Amino acid sequence: MGRGGLYSLVAGFAFFGAFPFYWMIIATFKRDHDLFQPQNNPFMFNEPPTLDHLRLLLFDTHYLQYLWNTFCVGSAVVLITLLAAVPAAYSLARWAKGWGETMGIGIFLTYLVPPTILFIPLSRFAAALGLQESLWSLILIYPTFTIPFCTWLLMGFFKTIPKDIEEQAMIDGLSRLGAMVKVILPLGISGILTVVVFAFTLSMHEFIYALTFISVSVKKTVSIGVPTELVRGDVFQWGPLMAGALLASIPVAVIYTFFLDRFISGFTMGAVK
Protein backbone atom coordinates (compact mmCIF):
# COMPACT_ATOMS: atom_id res chain seq x y z
CA MET A 1 0.00 0.00 0.00
CA GLY A 2 1.50 3.32 -1.10
CA ARG A 3 1.47 6.63 0.73
CA GLY A 4 -1.48 7.89 -1.27
CA GLY A 5 -3.44 4.72 -0.65
CA LEU A 6 -2.73 4.95 3.06
CA TYR A 7 -3.92 8.53 3.29
CA SER A 8 -7.09 7.97 1.30
CA LEU A 9 -7.93 4.87 3.34
CA VAL A 10 -7.50 6.69 6.64
CA ALA A 11 -9.30 9.78 5.33
CA GLY A 12 -12.20 7.61 4.20
CA PHE A 13 -12.57 6.02 7.62
CA ALA A 14 -12.19 9.39 9.38
CA PHE A 15 -14.95 10.76 7.14
CA PHE A 16 -17.22 7.81 7.95
CA GLY A 17 -16.60 8.23 11.69
CA ALA A 18 -16.93 11.97 11.91
CA PHE A 19 -19.56 12.83 9.30
CA PRO A 20 -22.60 12.53 11.60
CA PHE A 21 -20.94 15.07 13.90
CA TYR A 22 -20.19 17.42 11.02
CA TRP A 23 -23.83 17.03 10.11
CA MET A 24 -24.77 18.07 13.68
CA ILE A 25 -22.56 21.16 13.49
CA ILE A 26 -24.20 22.27 10.25
CA ALA A 27 -27.73 21.80 11.59
CA THR A 28 -26.89 23.52 14.89
CA PHE A 29 -26.02 26.80 13.20
CA LYS A 30 -28.24 26.67 10.13
CA ARG A 31 -31.35 28.79 9.80
CA ASP A 32 -34.59 26.79 9.62
CA HIS A 33 -35.38 28.40 6.29
CA ASP A 34 -32.10 27.08 4.89
CA LEU A 35 -32.30 23.75 6.74
CA PHE A 36 -35.73 22.76 5.42
CA GLN A 37 -35.14 23.52 1.76
CA PRO A 38 -34.49 20.22 -0.09
CA GLN A 39 -32.86 22.01 -3.05
CA ASN A 40 -30.22 23.77 -0.93
CA ASN A 41 -26.77 22.26 -0.65
CA PRO A 42 -27.05 20.48 2.71
CA PHE A 43 -23.30 20.47 3.39
CA MET A 44 -22.82 24.23 3.78
CA PHE A 45 -24.50 27.44 4.89
CA ASN A 46 -26.55 28.93 2.07
CA GLU A 47 -27.74 31.70 4.38
CA PRO A 48 -25.74 33.28 7.23
CA PRO A 49 -25.46 30.99 10.29
CA THR A 50 -27.59 31.62 13.36
CA LEU A 51 -27.47 31.05 17.12
CA ASP A 52 -31.25 30.66 17.41
CA HIS A 53 -31.17 26.89 17.86
CA LEU A 54 -28.58 27.11 20.62
CA ARG A 55 -30.57 29.84 22.35
CA LEU A 56 -33.73 27.74 22.19
CA LEU A 57 -31.89 24.66 23.45
CA LEU A 58 -30.24 26.38 26.41
CA PHE A 59 -33.06 28.64 27.55
CA ASP A 60 -36.34 27.10 26.41
CA THR A 61 -35.74 23.41 27.13
CA HIS A 62 -34.58 21.41 30.15
CA TYR A 63 -31.24 20.76 28.44
CA LEU A 64 -29.09 22.34 31.18
CA GLN A 65 -31.06 20.32 33.71
CA TYR A 66 -30.25 17.12 31.74
CA LEU A 67 -26.56 18.00 31.85
CA TRP A 68 -26.74 18.65 35.57
CA ASN A 69 -28.61 15.37 36.19
CA THR A 70 -26.02 13.52 34.13
CA PHE A 71 -23.24 15.13 36.12
CA CYS A 72 -24.83 14.23 39.48
CA VAL A 73 -25.44 10.62 38.49
CA GLY A 74 -21.95 10.29 36.98
CA SER A 75 -20.22 11.69 40.07
CA ALA A 76 -22.12 9.48 42.49
CA VAL A 77 -21.45 6.42 40.34
CA VAL A 78 -17.74 7.24 40.23
CA LEU A 79 -17.67 7.42 44.03
CA ILE A 80 -19.46 4.10 44.54
CA THR A 81 -17.32 2.46 41.87
CA LEU A 82 -14.06 3.60 43.47
CA LEU A 83 -15.15 2.48 46.95
CA ALA A 84 -15.92 -1.02 45.71
CA ALA A 85 -13.44 -1.52 42.85
CA VAL A 86 -10.18 -0.20 44.34
CA PRO A 87 -10.06 -2.59 47.31
CA ALA A 88 -11.37 -5.48 45.22
CA ALA A 89 -8.80 -4.94 42.48
CA TYR A 90 -5.97 -4.63 44.97
CA SER A 91 -7.06 -7.78 46.72
CA LEU A 92 -7.27 -9.71 43.43
CA ALA A 93 -3.95 -8.38 42.18
CA ARG A 94 -2.00 -9.12 45.38
CA TRP A 95 -3.42 -12.06 47.22
CA ALA A 96 -5.50 -14.00 44.82
CA LYS A 97 -3.74 -17.05 43.50
CA GLY A 98 -5.91 -19.81 42.10
CA TRP A 99 -9.30 -18.28 42.81
CA GLY A 100 -8.21 -14.83 41.65
CA GLU A 101 -8.07 -15.99 38.06
CA THR A 102 -11.51 -17.54 38.36
CA MET A 103 -12.84 -14.40 39.95
CA GLY A 104 -11.38 -12.28 37.17
CA ILE A 105 -13.18 -14.39 34.59
CA GLY A 106 -16.32 -14.25 36.74
CA ILE A 107 -16.22 -10.46 36.69
CA PHE A 108 -15.69 -10.55 32.96
CA LEU A 109 -18.69 -12.84 32.50
CA THR A 110 -21.08 -10.42 34.21
CA TYR A 111 -21.12 -8.71 30.83
CA LEU A 112 -23.05 -11.66 29.56
CA VAL A 113 -26.03 -10.82 31.71
CA PRO A 114 -26.82 -7.60 29.88
CA PRO A 115 -29.18 -4.78 30.87
CA THR A 116 -31.63 -6.23 28.36
CA ILE A 117 -32.26 -9.13 30.72
CA LEU A 118 -32.03 -7.07 33.90
CA PHE A 119 -34.11 -3.97 33.28
CA ILE A 120 -37.49 -5.64 33.82
CA PRO A 121 -36.71 -7.12 37.27
CA LEU A 122 -34.74 -3.99 38.23
CA SER A 123 -37.76 -1.84 37.40
CA ARG A 124 -39.62 -3.83 40.09
CA PHE A 125 -36.68 -3.26 42.49
CA ALA A 126 -36.92 0.47 41.89
CA ALA A 127 -40.69 0.37 42.42
CA ALA A 128 -40.31 -1.59 45.66
CA LEU A 129 -37.76 0.90 46.97
CA GLY A 130 -39.89 3.88 45.93
CA LEU A 131 -37.18 5.03 43.50
CA GLN A 132 -39.25 5.32 40.34
CA GLU A 133 -38.61 8.67 38.65
CA SER A 134 -35.60 9.20 40.90
CA LEU A 135 -31.98 9.64 39.86
CA TRP A 136 -31.10 7.42 42.83
CA SER A 137 -32.33 4.41 40.90
CA LEU A 138 -29.68 5.12 38.25
CA ILE A 139 -27.01 5.81 40.86
CA LEU A 140 -27.70 2.42 42.43
CA ILE A 141 -27.83 0.47 39.19
CA TYR A 142 -25.00 1.92 37.08
CA PRO A 143 -22.30 0.47 39.36
CA THR A 144 -23.46 -2.98 38.20
CA PHE A 145 -21.54 -2.39 34.98
CA THR A 146 -18.87 0.03 36.21
CA ILE A 147 -17.67 -2.10 39.16
CA PRO A 148 -16.85 -5.27 37.19
CA PHE A 149 -15.18 -3.36 34.39
CA CYS A 150 -13.19 -1.02 36.64
CA THR A 151 -12.09 -3.83 38.95
CA TRP A 152 -10.76 -5.68 35.94
CA LEU A 153 -8.98 -2.54 34.70
CA LEU A 154 -7.47 -1.62 38.08
CA MET A 155 -6.29 -5.15 38.73
CA GLY A 156 -3.99 -4.75 35.74
CA PHE A 157 -2.63 -1.47 37.08
CA PHE A 158 -1.95 -2.84 40.55
CA LYS A 159 -0.19 -5.88 39.14
CA THR A 160 2.38 -3.61 37.49
CA ILE A 161 3.42 -2.13 40.87
CA PRO A 162 6.26 -4.27 42.31
CA LYS A 163 5.52 -6.05 45.58
CA ASP A 164 8.86 -4.92 47.03
CA ILE A 165 7.56 -1.39 47.41
CA GLU A 166 4.89 -2.26 49.93
CA GLU A 167 7.11 -4.86 51.62
CA GLN A 168 9.66 -2.09 52.15
CA ALA A 169 6.92 0.18 53.53
CA MET A 170 5.88 -2.56 55.95
CA ILE A 171 9.44 -3.06 57.13
CA ASP A 172 9.48 0.69 57.72
CA GLY A 173 6.63 0.20 60.17
CA LEU A 174 3.42 0.64 58.17
CA SER A 175 0.64 -1.92 58.49
CA ARG A 176 -0.53 -3.78 55.41
CA LEU A 177 -3.55 -1.55 55.03
CA GLY A 178 -1.38 1.51 55.71
CA ALA A 179 1.04 0.44 52.98
CA MET A 180 -1.83 0.11 50.55
CA VAL A 181 -3.37 3.48 51.36
CA LYS A 182 -0.19 5.54 51.74
CA VAL A 183 2.12 3.90 49.21
CA ILE A 184 0.22 1.94 46.58
CA LEU A 185 -2.75 4.23 45.99
CA PRO A 186 -0.55 7.24 45.12
CA LEU A 187 1.43 5.04 42.73
CA GLY A 188 -1.76 3.72 41.15
CA ILE A 189 -3.20 7.21 40.68
CA SER A 190 -3.12 7.03 36.89
CA GLY A 191 -5.13 3.83 37.01
CA ILE A 192 -7.58 5.38 39.43
CA LEU A 193 -7.96 8.45 37.24
CA THR A 194 -8.69 6.20 34.28
CA VAL A 195 -11.40 4.50 36.30
CA VAL A 196 -12.90 7.87 37.24
CA VAL A 197 -13.09 8.83 33.58
CA PHE A 198 -14.59 5.53 32.49
CA ALA A 199 -17.14 5.19 35.25
CA PHE A 200 -18.28 8.71 34.40
CA THR A 201 -18.43 8.28 30.63
CA LEU A 202 -20.09 4.86 30.88
CA SER A 203 -22.83 6.38 33.05
CA MET A 204 -23.21 9.20 30.56
CA HIS A 205 -23.53 6.75 27.66
CA GLU A 206 -26.12 4.55 29.37
CA PHE A 207 -29.54 4.54 27.72
CA ILE A 208 -31.90 1.68 28.49
CA TYR A 209 -32.01 1.88 32.30
CA ALA A 210 -32.56 5.63 32.16
CA LEU A 211 -35.29 5.13 29.57
CA THR A 212 -36.99 2.51 31.75
CA PHE A 213 -36.82 4.32 35.09
CA ILE A 214 -37.19 8.00 34.24
CA SER A 215 -40.08 9.53 32.33
CA VAL A 216 -40.42 12.92 34.03
CA SER A 217 -38.69 15.46 31.80
CA VAL A 218 -36.75 17.38 34.47
CA LYS A 219 -35.22 14.15 35.84
CA LYS A 220 -33.81 12.91 32.54
CA THR A 221 -30.15 12.47 31.74
CA VAL A 222 -28.74 13.87 28.52
CA SER A 223 -28.67 10.47 26.76
CA ILE A 224 -32.44 10.07 27.00
CA GLY A 225 -33.46 13.72 27.33
CA VAL A 226 -32.18 14.72 23.91
CA PRO A 227 -33.75 11.85 21.90
CA THR A 228 -37.10 11.86 23.70
CA GLU A 229 -37.85 15.46 24.70
CA LEU A 230 -36.75 17.64 21.79
CA VAL A 231 -39.66 16.45 19.72
CA ARG A 232 -42.89 18.44 19.53
CA GLY A 233 -45.69 16.00 18.86
CA ASP A 234 -44.35 14.08 15.91
CA VAL A 235 -42.13 16.90 14.69
CA PHE A 236 -38.43 16.74 15.44
CA GLN A 237 -36.85 20.10 16.23
CA TRP A 238 -33.76 19.28 14.24
CA GLY A 239 -31.73 22.41 14.98
CA PRO A 240 -31.89 22.28 18.78
CA LEU A 241 -31.79 18.48 18.66
CA MET A 242 -28.48 18.46 16.79
CA ALA A 243 -27.13 21.23 19.01
CA GLY A 244 -27.99 19.16 22.08
CA ALA A 245 -26.35 16.03 20.71
CA LEU A 246 -23.24 17.94 19.64
CA LEU A 247 -22.68 19.91 22.86
CA ALA A 248 -22.81 16.81 25.03
CA SER A 249 -20.80 14.59 22.66
CA ILE A 250 -17.67 16.58 21.96
CA PRO A 251 -16.32 17.25 25.49
CA VAL A 252 -16.84 13.65 26.57
CA ALA A 253 -15.25 12.40 23.33
CA VAL A 254 -12.17 14.55 23.90
CA ILE A 255 -11.66 13.35 27.48
CA TYR A 256 -12.36 9.74 26.52
CA THR A 257 -9.79 9.87 23.71
CA PHE A 258 -7.03 10.89 26.14
CA PHE A 259 -7.65 7.78 28.19
CA LEU A 260 -8.38 5.39 25.36
CA ASP A 261 -5.03 3.59 25.38
CA ARG A 262 -5.26 2.72 29.05
CA PHE A 263 -8.81 1.61 28.59
CA ILE A 264 -7.79 -0.74 25.79
CA SER A 265 -4.90 -2.16 27.77
CA GLY A 266 -7.43 -3.07 30.44
CA PHE A 267 -9.83 -4.52 27.90
CA THR A 268 -7.31 -6.77 26.20
CA MET A 269 -5.43 -7.85 29.29
CA GLY A 270 -5.00 -11.58 29.26
CA ALA A 271 -5.44 -11.84 25.53
CA VAL A 272 -2.11 -10.15 24.78
CA LYS A 273 0.94 -11.08 26.75
Does 249 engage in binding with other proteins (CB under 8 A)? yes
Does 200 engage in binding with other proteins (CB under 8 A)? no
Does 49 engage in binding with other proteins (CB under 8 A)? no
Candidates 2, 4, 95, 232: give the one binding other proteins (CB under 8 A): 95
Nearer to other proteins among residue 73 and residue 107 (C-beta): 107
Candidates 48, 164, 173, 273: give the one binding other proteins (CB under 8 A): 273
Of 59-67, 71-79, 120-128, 184-192, the segment contacting other proteins by CB under 8 A is: 120-128
One-character DSSP codes across the chain: --HHHHHHHHHHHHHHHHHHHHHHHHHHHS-HHHHT-TTS-TTS-SS---SHHHHHHHHHSSHHHHHHHHHHHHHHHHHHHHHHHHHHHHHHHHT-SHHHHHHHHHHHHGGGS-HHHHHHHHHHHHHHTT-TT-HHHHHHHTHHHHHHHHHHHHHHHHHTS-HHHHHHHHHTT--HHHHIIIIIHHHTHHHHHHHHHHHHHHHHH--HHHHHH--SGGG--HHHHHHHHSEETTEE-HHHHHHHHHHHHHHHHHHHHHHHHHHHHHHHBTTB-
Does 92 engage in binding with other proteins (CB under 8 A)? yes
Task: Enumerate residues 137-196 that contact other proteins by CB under 8 A.
Answer: 140-141, 143-144, 147-148, 151, 176-177
Candidates 2, 17, 98, 233: give the one binding other proteins (CB under 8 A): 17
Q: How many residues bind other proteins (CB under 8 A)?
A: 102
Does 123 engage in binding with other proteins (CB under 8 A)? yes
Task: Enumerate residues 58-87 that contact other proteins by CB under 8 A.
Answer: 83-85, 87
Task: Enumerate residues 216-235 that contact other proteins by CB under 8 A.
Answer: 222-224, 226-227
